[in-house]
Chains A and B, each alone.
Chain A
């Protein structure tokens, strides 16, 4: 039990550091940035209460913001994503699972379901992040490019990671 918790915390730290130290410096074609930090939301178990999930997302965002020097930006995007995540999880829970707690994965939801799940969360995260970042619709085409590009890249990476994990068993 303790070992699992430590693994989890270390995993969270690793993903977080990967995001702030590596991914935030990557910009493909001037629009696509991978946001691997969403992986932490994706893998949040269904048993976590919405308050805990929101609080976790909030503090995760705040700490990320400290590294990117954009107080409130990542926090808002992550809290919004966590809020939507809560409803998505609820929908899955009542349809498929009953009271049993679970961690969303491709094996459980199927590739189609997991892809939709990932894409929706990533899209919401990226939309909030870029809209608040630019805070105007002055250049709508560029804004759209950044949202779509980053969503696509992030989703691809997350699905690849999921595929690797599933293959390893």
Chain B
């Protein structure tokens, strides 16, 4: 502190000069239009560049906020995109399935559903779909994809339904060889996911390799004539019934969208059948 005071004392004239010079400059820039204009334009240039610099710096601080906002927006857009893609896929699936699988002659109602869970590797395989009772999906309904029969609904909750896959030995489907009236029963033996066995064919049936196996229409799950698979091996045994090996039309490992077929028989048919059973 003492040194500072000493410094001021020894350089007193310098400080006095600086004070007077400052007063002069203030007067100069306050009362002289020319100097004032030069001062203002220079000051504006300097302050402008300082503002520009600070803008550049604060701009970087703002980037974090901008980044957060962009991320939020991005997420929103992506979820919207996912919804739209889903809708589009659903529409496409509806379109494809309606053109390929269910013949127009059947009055069957169809519900398009997306598969949310599917197993192929187990002994008993099940398929879960994202439509349930609230969409009209109830047990005993059949499900098909664009290639062929996939399974039958076994249980349904309000939003979901579980179906027995064709790859489940508990499911038997009444089938026939297309073009003939020989009825058989299709069952999966658990060997591989591409093939099943059509059993209980009568010995007089004529079956050739490559024949198409279709649903018979005798069960309430499927209308008549839906593709199930193709005969790959027609060995004939000298027995009362014989069986053929069938390659399944649906590829169970790549299932995505399916159609639930509402083929429940009209009330009238049900009543008459019940009546018939009563006379047995």
Contact = CB atoms under 8 A, between A and B. Distances in A.
Interface string A61-94: 1100100001111011001101100100000000
A135 interface: yes
B13 A70 contact: no
A132 B14 CA distance: 20
Contacts of A73: 24, 28, 32
Most B C-beta atoms less than 10 A away, residue of A55, A65, A135: A135
A131 B39 CA distance: 14
B20 A79 contact: yes
B27 interface: yes
Contact of B32 (A58, A71, A83, A136): A71
B35 interface: yes
A54 interface: yes
Nearest to A58: B20
B279 interface: no
B24 A72 contact: yes
A51 interface: yes
Nearest to B30: A71
Per DSSP, chain A at the interface is helix
A72 B13 contact: no
Interface size class of B (residues with CB under 8 A): 20 to 34
Given A58-B23, A71-B28, A72-B28, A135 B34 contact: yes
A80 B17 CA distance: 7
A65 B30 CA distance: 14
Contacts of B14: 83
A136 B28 CA distance: 14
B17 A76 contact: no
Contact of A72 (B26, B34, B38): B26
Contacts, number: 64
Nearest to A87: B13
A51 B12 contact: yes
Contacts of B34: 135
B21 interface: yes
Contacts of B16: 50-51, 54-55
Contacts of B28: 70-73, 76, 132
Contacts of A75: 20, 23-24, 27
Interface in B211-266: none
Contact of A76 (B13, B25, B30): B25
Contacts of B61: none
B29 to A, nearest CB: 8
Nearest to A74: B24
Interface residues of A, number: 23
B23 A54 contact: no
A99 B159 CA distance: 112
A143 to B, nearest CB: 14
A114 to B, nearest CB: 23
B33 to A, nearest CB: 11
Interface in B1-52: 12-14, 16-17, 20-21, 23-32, 34-35, 38
Nearest to A136: B38
A61 B35 contact: no
Contacts of B23: 58, 72, 75
Given A70-B32, A83-B13, A54 B20 contact: yes
Given A61-B24, A76-B21, A79-B21, A50 B13 contact: yes
Nearest to A53: B13
A79 B16 CA distance: 10
16 contacts: A50-B13, A55-B16, A58-B24, A61-B24, A71-B28, A71-B31, A71-B32, A72-B23, A72-B25, A72-B29, A72-B30, A73-B24, A75-B24, A79-B17, A132-B28, A135-B38
Interface of B: 12-14, 16-17, 20-21, 23-32, 34-35, 38
8 closest residue pairs by CB, A with B: A72-B27, A72-B28, A50-B13, A76-B24, A71-B31, A83-B17, A71-B27, A72-B24
